[in-house]
Chains A and B, each alone.
Chain A
Amino acid sequence: MFRSYVLVCGGTGCTSSNSPKVIEALENEIKAVGLQDEVKVVKTGCFGLCALGPIMIVYPEGVFYSRVKPEWIKEIVDEHLLKGRIVKKYLYQETIDGDNIKNLMHTRFYEKQTRIALHNCGVIAAEDIDEYIARGGYTALEKVLFHMQPQEVIEVVKASGLRGRGGAGFSTGMKWQFTASAEGDVKYVCCNADEGDPGAFMDRSVLEGDPHCVIEAMTIAAYAIGGSQGYVYVRAEYPIAVQRLRIALAQAREYGLLGDNIMGTGFKFDIEIRLGAGAFVCGEETALMTSIEGNRGEPRPRPPFPANKGLFAKPTLLNNVETYANITQIINNGAEWFASMGTEKSKGTKVFALGGKVVNTGLVEIPMGTPLRTVIEEIGGGCPNGKKFKAAQTGGPSGGCIPASLIDTPLDYESMAAIGSIVGSGGLIVMDEDNCMVDIAKFFLDFTVDESCGKCAPCRIGTKRIYEMLEKITSGNGTLEDIDKLEELCYQVKSASLCALGQTAPNPVLSTLNYFRDEYIAHVVDKKCPAGVCKSLLQYVIDPEKCKGCTACARQCPVGAISGTVKQPHVIDSSKCIKCGACMATCKFGAISKK
Chain B
Amino acid sequence: MSAKVVSSVPFNGTKEQKEALDAVIARYKGQQGCVMPAMQEAQDIYGYLPEEVQQMLAEGLNVPLEHIYGVSTFYAQFNLNPKGRYRVGVCLGTACYVKNSANVLEKIKEILGIDNGGCTPDGKFSLDATRCLGCCGLAPVMMINDDVYGRLTPENVAEVFEKYKDL
Chain A residue nearest to B43 in the complex (CB): A277
Nearest chain B CB to A365 CB, angstrom units: 14
A355 touches B136 (CB 8 A): yes
Q: How many residues of B are in contact with the other chain, CB < 8 A? A: 44
Segment from A128-136, A160-168, A191-199, A471-479 that makes contact with B: A191-199
Q: Which residues of A contact B147 (CB under 8 A)?
A: 16
Q: Which of B1-21 touch A at CB < 8 Å?
A: 1-2
Q: Which residues of A contact B146 (CB under 8 A)?
A: 239
A396 to B136 Cα, complex, angstroms: 13
Interface presence of A347 (CB below 8 A):
no
Nearest chain A CB to B69 CB, angstrom units: 10
Interface presence of A200 (CB below 8 A):
yes
A308 to B2 Cα, complex, angstroms: 35
Query: A292 and B138 in contact (CB under 8 A), knowing A278-B75, A355-B95?
Result: no
Interface presence of B139 (CB below 8 A):
yes
Q: Which residues of B contact A17 (CB under 8 A)?
A: 138, 150-151
Query: A236 and B77 in contact (CB under 8 A), knowing A15-B148, A450-B1, A450-B2?
Result: yes
Q: Which residues of A contact B2 (CB under 8 A)?
A: 450
Segment from A72-80, A138-146, A294-302 that makes contact with B: A294-302
Q: Which residues of A contact B26 (CB under 8 A)?
A: none
Q: How large is the interface on A (under 10, 10 to 19, 20 to 34, 35 or more residues)?
A: 35 or more
A445-466 near B? 1/0 per residue, CB < 8 Å: 0010010011000000000000
Nearest chain A CB to B97 CB, angstrom units: 6
B98 touches A429 (CB 8 A): yes
Q: Interface centre among A198, A235, A296, by most B CB within 10 Å?
A: A198
Interface presence of A12 (CB below 8 A):
yes
A191-222 near B? 1/0 per residue, CB < 8 Å: 00001111111001000000000000000000
Q: Which of B131-151 touch A at CB < 8 Å?
A: 131-139, 141, 146-151
Q: Which residues of B contact A236 (CB under 8 A)?
A: 40, 77
Interface presence of B78 (CB below 8 A):
yes
B137 touches A204 (CB 8 A): no
Nearest chain A CB to B134 CB, angstrom units: 4
Q: Which 6 A-B pairs have the closest CB atoms?
A: A50-B137, A294-B35, A198-B93, A16-B148, A278-B76, A198-B132
User: Would you give 14 A-B contacts (Cβ < 8 Å), ordered by A?
Assistant: A12-B133, A50-B138, A196-B132, A197-B132, A199-B93, A199-B95, A274-B37, A275-B37, A275-B40, A279-B75, A294-B36, A356-B94, A361-B95, A427-B95
Residues of B within 8 A of A (CB): 1-2, 32-37, 39-40, 63, 67, 70-71, 74-78, 92-99, 130-139, 141, 146-151
Residues of A within 8 A of B (CB): 12-13, 15-17, 50-51, 53, 195-201, 204, 235-239, 274-280, 291-297, 312, 353, 355-357, 361-363, 393, 396, 427, 429, 431, 435, 440, 443-444, 447, 450, 453-454
